[in-house]
Each structure stands twice: as C-alpha cells, then as structure tokens.
A and B are shown apart, each in its own frame.
Chain A
Amino acid sequence: MEFNQPAGQNLFDQSRIVGKPMPRVEGPLKVSGHAKYAFERHDVVAGQLHGYPVVSTIAQGRITEIDTSAAESAPGFRGVVTALEIGEMPSPFAWNFAPLFGGDRVSHYHQAIAVVVAETFEQARAAAALVRVDYEVEEGNYDLEAAWERAREDRSEPVSRIGDFEGAFAAAEVTLDGEYRTPGHSHAMMEPHATIANWQDGKLTIWTATQMVDWIRQSLARTLEMDPENVRVDSPYIGGGFGAKLYLRADAVLAALAARKLAEPVKVALPRPMIMNNTTHRAATIQRIRIGADREGRITAIAHEAISNTLPSGRGETATAQTRAFYAGANRLIVHHTAVMHLPEANAMRAPGEASGLMALEIAMDEMAEKLEMDPVQFRIINDTQVDPESPDRPFSNRNFVQCLEHGAEVFGWAERNMTPGGRREGMWLIGHGAAGAYRGSPAMASGARIRLQPSGRLIVETDMTDIGTGSYTVIAQTAAEVMGLPVEAVDVVLGDSAFPVSAGSGGQWGGPSATAGVYAACVALRAEIATRLGVENADSLEFVDGHVRGNDLDRLLSEMAAEGEIISEDTITFGDFRRDHIVSTFGAHFVEVAVHALTGEMRVRRMLAVCDSGRILNPVTARSQVIGGMVMGVGAALMEEIAVDTHRGYFPAHDLAGYEVPVHADIPAQEVIFLDTLDPVSTPMKAKGVGELGLCGVAAAVANAAYNATGVRVRNYPMTLEKFIPGLPTA
C-alpha cells in the first residue's frame, strides 16, 4: 500500500482499541522472566561456547603483534580469532563509521581486536586477559575546543543561508550571541550488546539484540561477504537501545567469526566496561547561537553554528537540525562543522541532533526573552511558524506548538512563578521555574507485515519490527485487532525475526507510526482477500466487528473464513512523495520546577510537565512511558550525564555505570504528561507520529532555565553540575 495522499476519515476515527490505554501485552512475560533476551537464549541451539572480546588499549595506531599463546593453554580454551588473522573486513554499512573488527589499524580505544572462546564465560574472560598485544602508537586528535577555535569563523559551506543574516543581526534592536556546550553522552541502556551465532551448511543464524533487524542482516552479510539470504537474525526482546543498537556492532561480528572458525555456536556479550568506548556515543558539541529581534520580540535574524566530534566519514551531531524550522525569522544561517577526532565512534543517540541542539537553542530563547523583558513562553508563541521558514511554500503538516505552550503554562501555573532570577527562597533552597520548547522530526519508513488468520479465529502478526521497550508489541496488536474487528487477546504478535517481512525497525521515533501503518496495510490486504473469498467486490463495503465479517447481507465468523486452512496476507506500507511537501514534526512544551541549594548548589527537580503534540496517540500508556523515560534522560543530560574525555589518551576513562551517572529514582519527581488530541493526516494512515524521542527534546534546557530562574546564574555548559553555580551563589 502506498500512502500517497493525506488520510481521510477512516476506521481509526471511530476506533475501539487504537488510542485506548492498554498495558503492554508482553508485560507478564517480562516481569516473570519468560521474555528471553539475546544472551539468555540457552535453548535455541545446544552447546553454546562463550566468547570474550579483547579490545585495544590505545586510541590510535597499528597492532604489530597479538600473542595468544598463554591464552591457548588456559583452562577451557577452545579457540581464538584475532583481527590480524582476519584482515580488513568490508565496512558493514554506510552509517558504521568505526571498523568493528579486522586488520591491524586501531581507530579508537577499546576497538575489538580478538575474541577468545572457551567452555564457560569465566574461562573465556580469564583466557582473554592473557592475550598480549603490541602496538605502534600514533598521535590522535582529541580536543574539540581546539577544533572549534579553527572552525569558528568558517562559514564557507553553510547548511543553509536565507536572506541576509549578518545585515539583519547588525540592525536588530535586541540581540543575543551565546556559546553553549554539550558533552558526549552514553546510551547506557540496560541490556548490553549480545549475540549468539551459529552456522549450519554455510548459513548463519544470530540471536541478538538489535533495533534494526534487516540492517543488521544486510550489514553482517556485507562485512562477512556473504549472501544476505544466508543470514538469519532473531531479536524478539531488546533491553533498550536508544540508538546504540541501530547498527551492527562487534558482538555480532565476533560471535559470527568465532562460531565459523570453531564450527560451534558461540555467544558474545560486550562487557559493560567496554561498551562506552567500543560502541557509539552521542558526540559532544559546541554551539554558537545568535538571535536578533525587534522590540516586540519578533525574530528577524537567527544563526546556529555548531561543531561536534566524529571519526573520519562520520556526520557528527546535527545539533542545528531543529533551528532550520522551529522558529520564524526572515534571515537565517545554519552552519554544521564536523571535527574529525580519534575518539570512539560518535553516532545516533535518542533524538540525534535535536536533543543536543535544543539544549542550546532553548536556553538561547530564554536568554533572548529576558533581554526583551518578555515572558519566554510568549516569546516562543510570537515566533511560531506554520510554514518552513526556509521555504515558506512548504507548510507544516500539523503543528500545534502554541497550544502546547499555552496549555502547559496554564496547567503548570506558569503565571504564578517568580520572575526575578534568584528571587525566591525557601529556607536553604532557591526555587525556580523554567520552560522550553520541544521539536523533533517525525520521519516514516516503509514497513511490512504478514497476517495469518487461523482456523481458530486467532490472528498472528509477523514482522521483523523490534520492541526495544517502546511498546511495539502492544500497538501492533491494537492495530491488527482494530482493523480485523477482533479483541486484542485474539492477536498474537511475533517480532524481530528476519524471516518475517521487513519493517521500519526502531529508530528516529519512526518505529511506532510506520510499523503500525505496515500492519494496517497487511490487514487491509487480508480484508480484501476475505472479500474476494466471499465474492464481494468492494472490500470496504464489509464491516469487521466482534469477530464477524458483515455486510452485503452476509454475516460470517472470521474463524469460519479460515476453516479450510489459515489465510495469509502480506503487505508493506510505503510513503509517497507528497509527505515531503510538508514538514512532518512533533512538538512539545516542557515546564520544570527546581530547587537549588543556596550554599552547595545541589539541584533537585521538583516538578515536571510535558505537553506533547504527536498526532494520534496509539496507546496513552506506552506513549506516556516513552515520554517520561525521555524526561528522565533529559534530567540526566541537564544535571549529570557526561562521558568525560581524557584529551591526552583519547578515550572515555569513566567507562562504566559507576563513572557514567544517569538519574536514580531519587532524582526524578512527579512527572505529568499531557497529549494534545491532535491528528496528522499527512503522517500515516493512522494520523500518528512518533513520540519516543520527543519526550527528551528540550527537557534539559527547561531544567537549565529553571536553574537560572532559581539562582540568577546562567550556565551554558552541560551538565549543570554544582561547581558551575557555586561562584554565583549566596554565601549564607
């Protein structure tokens, strides 16, 4: 099914199930330990051996020797594969920027350079520790500040330049010129990367944890130089990803190579202390934002320039992404620099681009409002735009940002806040309130599904879509149940197997809307097949309700239709070009109350509210859980998360969950989430958009703005740790 024009009235507008709150269908399996994650799939193949990675301990250079002799005589040793014996492997994918394995080049710290296989995990770990490696160390570049010094005035290749930014900025009545810094972030998802690999008759099966089943299948085939048809990937449960599991990673390559060499199944998990340097991180950024406005607060000039680290060939963090379209203003300049650095691989992390970009832009908006002596919420409202400010004939498909701000301000009690920074104190605590806008693009990706109507009347939905904790199982079950007129309990959803139709996968907050649209398409195909079997020409003249198909003087049980044998239908939703004639995005407004200790600078978030405009909310329970999770991550980004760089050695030294702090329960207050009741007919047939990344966007800036309001100290450098406030805090 091609989605090639805006959705009209359809069955989702009278839905019984889609859009209704519903707990996760796989919840009982998860809480009882029956949902098996990759490393725990002991039953899929007998005789699994354990592989333990050996990783480089330099950031840049060449491996001159790998001595495995001591490892080979360790107890339980079964085999070893080294990068030198394998040699350089073809790059798995256009968006993998670091080599995962093979050859003598080391391009970052903790690059995988060998895997040692033994009978037990402990034996593999002990043997791996006996591998000796010699290197030729090379100098690397690890200093983003120095790169920024060089790039700061270079505007020779702007991303976009509209009107005359410099002229308008110089002429503006009120201006702001600020520099902001965001550190690198680690995904720190709960489940480490893990893979079990098994070869049989030249065919490879991996049981793994991935967000994108087909990408991984194609990538693994490419790097192993084999036909993708001979690779099967299975990933039914994933313990979080946040982008860390978008692309093929070393666990799968090591497991596959070791299993091939030993001709036995091998499992490899990346140990936690290796994950932060071995895999990917969100790049650090330095961002300069200039805004010019007239006295009434209308933006006349806006420039956003940013730099971020990347390995050669990488894209860096597109922190300027949202600024191209978020606010109005005739004269605009966007510059995106990448600093080639030899740190571990910078790549996508939840809301890549916008998450970091809004951390800066939404502080700048707050600062600008202050200069204008305006309410920062009002300032944002005034500069709303319903069209692409870079090309005004391109409208937003559906943008309700102003309603988010207005409704949020009312619910939060924004008007009652203290407006003098540092002006409200309760005992030892300074109290402040802050707001920020949220923006995140809502792409859609082709997505397929197969539906199998069983003689029992049950429905099986098969797609290689993944559920990384987001709720895919549930919204897919709801969609199929809705379209086929069955209760959710009659639908079995099976995910994550490359034997199933290729789906959108989970990333870029496209998964929910795209995958449900794909299931819708496949269900429509099933309805058509049933219509054909009933001799009805127009499938739309049939109604599917309560397990029956009715219309044209017919009334049949669905189960009856399949009495002779299951009925199978399959389809893929594709998204036509018309979608690109619009900007399809999601919007939100965040409101936060913080308390900052007047002496120590310790900060506690006391209250959070998010108002989201994400089109049809397919399931308010799972959507809310996405948004509050995003808000938690935003608090982390605001207050503590930083993957600190050793700029001498070129790596992240605090590379475990003790060194990289994410929020604990005690950091998170009551969170309120409101979904505006909006529909976006341009987005998908279900008029739905993504929500999983929106919840993070803008949160950190709202905390930062609240901290400023509380203390009068403006910090432009994340995380907002206490030493950055102390010099400006009261002494008693």
Chain B
Amino acid sequence: MREFSYERIADPAAAAARAAEVEGAKFIAGGTNLLDLMKLEIETPVHLIDVNGSGLDKITETPEGGLRIGALVRNTTLSAHARVRRDYPVLTRALVAGASGQLRNKATTAGNLLQRTRCPYFYDTAQACNKRVPGSGCSALTEGAFSRQLGIIGTSDACIATHPSDMAVGLRTLDAVVETITPTGMTRTIHLEEFHHLPGDTPDQENALMPGEMITAVTLPAPIGGQQVYHKVRDRASYAFALVSVALIRQPDGSGRVALGGVAPKPWRSAAADAELPNGAAAVVAQLLDGARPTEENTFKIALAERTLAALLAED
C-alpha cells in the first residue's frame, strides 16, 4: 500500500470538486474493494476522500412512484428495505447472493457498481494486464492461461474480464438510473445500460464517470411487478462470484426481462433477447449471447446460461 492522505467531506458537490482538484484522489465508501486493491498496489490513490458523512444514505420515494437509493445505502439495508422486497424483489435477491453478510453491511450502492473485476491476472501486479497497466497486454488471453471465470461476450482482444457485481445485474432488469454530481456542481443522470463501458481498446476505462464525478444515488422507476427472481450459479453454495447469474422478471403474459451476470464486462441484457422470452430460454440466450467469444475453458457458460434461465422459467 502506498502512502496516502485522507479527508472527510460531507458535501457531495465539495467532494466532487476536491476529487477533481487533487490529482490521484479517490472516493472511499465502504472500502471493501478499494482497500483490498490498495494493499496490493493495484489501486494507488494518493488521496482518499471519505464520503460516508455525506447524508447520501437514505432511500426515498420518487414522485413517479419509484425509489431513490442514496449512493451510501449499504447493501444490507437496501436488500432488507420493505419497498424493495415488495416491489423490486429481484434486487433483494441479487444483493443477498453477493459477498457475505459482513461485507454487505459495509458495501455501498455506489461502491458496488464501481467494484473492479476479479480476473486473477488483474490481481497479480507481476502479470501483464491492460486493465491495470494500459498497453501491457492481457495475460488471460495467452495460451495456457486460466480463464474459466472470465467473460464470453462484450469482451475484446484487449480484455475479457467480467464485471463481478450481482446487484448491478438485478438493477439492470429494473432499468435503474445512476445520478451523479460533477466537479462543477452539475448533476447528471446516466442509464445503467450506458454506465459500464465495454473494454474495446481501453479496458482501464470502465464507466461513464468523468474525473471527480461522484455518484449520489441510483433511482428505480415505478415498479413493474411480475415474478422477479435471481439465480446465481457458482462452484460453492455461497461466498463466491458467479460463473453465470440470471436476473429474470416475468409478467403473467410471458413477456419480461432478462439480464446475465458473470459473462460480460457489464450486466448483459438486450431488448431483442427480452422479446424472445415467450419463446423460451434457448431463444433468449441464442439472441443474448449471439456473437459470444468464449475461451475453451469458459465456453460452458453459454449452455449454463441457457440452462439457468430454463430452470427459472420452469419454476412457478
């Protein structure tokens, strides 16, 4: 871990301004991802801006009947919120499938969206990794590499890492919107669909945030009802990242929405695939994973995605 300075800033606009002003500054929320990465010198901020006192830890109703989730609402609080459980159960289910109880007590809504990949080569600073050191190469794409956990779609020749969040997959089916404040004090909204970037040639640039821009909230549109489920498939029963996860909202008429986790650099959903829902899991996944480029080790994720969705569709 490199030396760093630390300050707390309660006002979001001031925090954003400060983050833009100090080169190499970063926000810290729960710290459950950032501190681990700092210990390994994968992240090397010179200055930390602690935003925990900023009052963004409330869940409020929006005029449209949706919810505004403050950036600092803890994953545990969010998953247990009565309205979330009643109106957005896919979110609760996705949240409790992630990490462990202790981590969820600390992890925040914004931090969760911004957590970084779990690619093993990203985690070993001795190995080439375009995401960690742009232009150094991608170790996961060489012959003999261990790539079983990594992505199969939306990836590039520069990076095949996945975004590991469960929460984001649930949010994606709910058409969530990210609200931010910029260093100049402007607010913006970014649809979750546009929030995470595909790697292309710049896998280090993971999202739509500008330098210093701070997430203030995530909003959910008015509830859409339906049966909402989340199934996370992994090698052990708990406390592991997804091989494949499926978030599903199904309406009584058979229409609905599907998003996949564990397969791509962002929660993976498309309108065309949603439209196939009445035709069953094979049709949805064929559409959703069209153009997939798995490695030999993770090609099973295609069949697994289809089977996981089929399993959810078979449940009543």
Binding site for B on A (CB under 8 A): 57, 75, 122, 125-126, 129, 142, 273, 428, 597, 599-602, 604, 639-640, 644-649, 653-656, 658-659, 661, 663-667, 719, 721-723, 726-727, 729, 731-732
Interface extent on B, as a size class? 35 or more
Chain A residues with CB under 8 Å of B145's CB are 646, 648-649, 653
Q: B235 touches which one: A75, A639, A648, A666 (CB < 8 A)?
A: A639
- CB distance B233 to A428 under 8 Å? no
- CB distance A639 to B236 under 8 Å? yes
- CB distance B123 to A273 under 8 Å? yes
In the A-B complex, list the 5 residue pairs whose CB atoms are closest, starting with the nearest: A648-B144, A57-B126, A723-B300, A666-B237, A647-B144
Q: What is the bound-complex CA distance between A645 and B143, given in angstroms?
A: 12
10 extra interchain contacts, Cβ-Cβ under 8 A, other than A602-B233, A656-B123, A658-B118? A75-B3, A428-B311, A428-B315, A597-B311, A600-B308, A646-B139, A659-B120, A661-B236, A664-B236, A722-B300
Q: A664 touches which one: B142, B239, B303, B315 (CB < 8 A)?
A: B239
CB-CB under 8 A for A664 and B237, given A126-B2, A599-B311, A732-B310? yes
Distance between B273 CB and nearest chain A CB, rounded to angstroms = 19
CB-CB under 8 A for A648 and B237, given A273-B40, A726-B304? no
- CB distance B120 to A653 under 8 Å? yes
Q: What is the bound-complex CA distance between A656 and B124, given in angstroms?
A: 10
- CB distance A126 to B233 under 8 Å? no
Chain A residues with CB under 8 Å of B300's CB are 722-723, 726
Chain B residues with CB under 8 Å of A648's CB are 142-145
Q: B304 touches which one: A126, A600, A647 (CB < 8 A)?
A: A600
- CB distance B1 to A654 under 8 Å? no
Q: Does B271 contact A (CB under 8 A)?
A: no
Q: Does B195 contact A (CB under 8 A)?
A: no
- CB distance A428 to B314 under 8 Å? yes
- CB distance B235 to A721 under 8 Å? yes
A interface footprint on B290-316 (CB within 8 Å = 1, 0 otherwise): 000000000010011001101100110
Chain B residues with CB under 8 Å of A125's CB are 1, 39
Within 8 A of A (CB), among B115-140: 118, 120-121, 123-124, 126-127, 139
- CB distance B307 to A600 under 8 Å? yes
Chain B residues with CB under 8 Å of A649's CB are 127, 139, 144-145
Q: Does B240 contact A (CB under 8 A)?
A: yes
Q: A129 touches which one: B41, B123, B237, B241 (CB < 8 A)?
A: B41
Distance between A595 CB and nearest chain B CB, rounded to angstroms = 12
Q: Does B238 contact A (CB under 8 A)?
A: yes
Chain B residues with CB under 8 Å of A666's CB are 236-238
Distance between A599 CB and nearest chain B CB, rounded to angstroms = 4
Distance between A294 CB and nearest chain B CB, rounded to angstroms = 41
Distance between A186 CB and nearest chain B CB, rounded to angstroms = 14
Q: Please name the residue on chain B nearest to A597 by beta carbon.
A: B311
Chain A residues with CB under 8 Å of B308's CB are 599-600
Distance between B211 CB and nearest chain A CB, rounded to angstroms = 25
- CB distance A646 to B314 under 8 Å? no
Chain A residues with CB under 8 Å of B238's CB are 664-667
A selection of 20 A-B contacts at a CB cut-off of 8 Å is A75-B3, A125-B39, A126-B2, A273-B123, A428-B315, A597-B311, A599-B311, A599-B314, A600-B304, A602-B233, A649-B139, A654-B120, A654-B146, A658-B118, A661-B236, A666-B237, A667-B236, A719-B235, A726-B300, A726-B304
- CB distance A722 to B236 under 8 Å? no
Q: What is the bound-complex CA distance between A142 and B143, given in angstroms?
A: 12
Chain B residues with CB under 8 Å of A727's CB are 303
Distance between B41 CB and nearest chain A CB, rounded to angstroms = 6
Distance between B300 CB and nearest chain A CB, rounded to angstroms = 4
Distance between A341 CB and nearest chain B CB, rounded to angstroms = 13
Q: What is the bound-complex CA distance between A405 and B236, given in angstroms?
A: 29
Chain A residues with CB under 8 Å of B3's CB are 75, 126
Chain A contact surface mostly: loop
A interface footprint on B225-264 (CB within 8 Å = 1, 0 otherwise): 0000000010111111101000000000000000000000
Q: Does B106 contact A (CB under 8 A)?
A: no
Q: Does B148 contact A (CB under 8 A)?
A: yes
CB-CB under 8 A for A600 and B233, given A126-B2, A648-B143, A726-B307? yes
Chain B residues with CB under 8 Å of A273's CB are 40, 123-124
Q: What is the bound-complex CA distance between A15 and B281, given in angstroms?
A: 65
Q: Please name the residue on chain A nearest to B305 by beta carbon.
A: A600
Q: What is the bound-complex CA distance between A726 and B240, given in angstroms?
A: 20
- CB distance A723 to B304 under 8 Å? yes
Q: What is the bound-complex CA distance between A666 and B300, given in angstroms?
A: 24
Q: What is the bound-complex CA distance between A639 and B235, given in angstroms?
A: 7
Distance between B232 CB and nearest chain A CB, rounded to angstroms = 10
CB-CB under 8 A for A653 and B124, given A599-B307, A599-B311? yes
Chain B residues with CB under 8 Å of A129's CB are 2, 41
Q: Which has the most chain B C-beta neighbours within 10 Å: A122, A646, A661? A: A646
- CB distance A600 to B311 under 8 Å? yes
CB-CB under 8 A for A722 and B127, given A599-B307, A646-B145, A649-B139? no
Chain B residues with CB under 8 Å of A719's CB are 235
Distance between B136 CB and nearest chain A CB, rounded to angstroms = 13
- CB distance A646 to B307 under 8 Å? no
Distance between B52 CB and nearest chain A CB, rounded to angstroms = 22
- CB distance A126 to B123 under 8 Å? no
Q: Which has the most chain B C-beta neighbours within 10 Å: A122, A601, A654? A: A654
- CB distance A653 to B304 under 8 Å? no
Chain A residues with CB under 8 Å of B240's CB are 661
Distance between A343 CB and nearest chain B CB, rounded to angstroms = 12
Q: What is the bound-complex CA distance between A665 and B307, given in angstroms?
A: 26
- CB distance A604 to B237 under 8 Å? yes
Chain A residues with CB under 8 Å of B39's CB are 125
Distance between A110 CB and nearest chain B CB, rounded to angstroms = 9
Q: Please name the residue on chain B nearest to A636 by beta carbon.
A: B236
Chain B residues with CB under 8 Å of A656's CB are 123
- CB distance A644 to B304 under 8 Å? no
Chain A residues with CB under 8 Å of B304's CB are 600-601, 722-723, 726
A interface footprint on B206-239 (CB within 8 Å = 1, 0 otherwise): 0000000000000000000000000001011111
Q: What is the bound-complex CA distance between A652 and B39, given in angstroms?
A: 20
Q: Please name the residue on chain A nearest to B126 by beta carbon.
A: A57
Q: Please name the residue on chain A nearest to B311 by beta carbon.
A: A599
- CB distance B237 to A732 under 8 Å? no
Q: Please name the residue on chain A nearest to B308 by beta carbon.
A: A600
Q: Please name the residue on chain A nearest to B309 by beta carbon.
A: A599
Chain B residues with CB under 8 Å of A721's CB are 235
Distance between B69 CB and nearest chain A CB, rounded to angstroms = 27
- CB distance B120 to A126 under 8 Å? no
Chain B residues with CB under 8 Å of A653's CB are 120-121, 124, 127, 139, 145-146
Chain A residues with CB under 8 Å of B315's CB are 428
Chain B residues with CB under 8 Å of A655's CB are 120, 124
Q: What is the bound-complex CA distance between A126 and B39, given in angstroms?
A: 9
Q: Which has the most chain B C-beta neighbours within 10 Å: A125, A602, A644? A: A602
Q: What is the bound-complex CA distance between A75 and B1, given in angstroms?
A: 12
Q: Please name the residue on chain A nearest to B307 by beta carbon.
A: A599
Q: Please name the residue on chain B nearest to A109 by beta carbon.
A: B126
Q: What is the bound-complex CA distance between A326 and B123, given in angstroms?
A: 44
Chain A residues with CB under 8 Å of B146's CB are 644-646, 653-654
- CB distance B144 to A646 under 8 Å? yes
Q: What is the bound-complex CA distance between A658 and B123, given in angstroms?
A: 11
Chain B residues with CB under 8 Å of A645's CB are 146
Distance between A138 CB and nearest chain B CB, rounded to angstroms = 17
Q: Please name the residue on chain B nearest to A647 by beta carbon.
A: B144
Chain B residues with CB under 8 Å of A665's CB are 238
Q: What is the bound-complex CA distance between A442 and B1, given in angstroms?
A: 47
- CB distance A644 to B311 under 8 Å? no
Q: Please name the residue on chain A nearest to B232 by beta carbon.
A: A602
Q: What is the bound-complex CA distance between A555 and B146, given in angstroms?
A: 72
Chain B residues with CB under 8 Å of A428's CB are 311, 314-315
Distance between A657 CB and nearest chain B CB, rounded to angstroms = 10
Q: What is the bound-complex CA distance between A658 and B143, given in angstroms?
A: 23
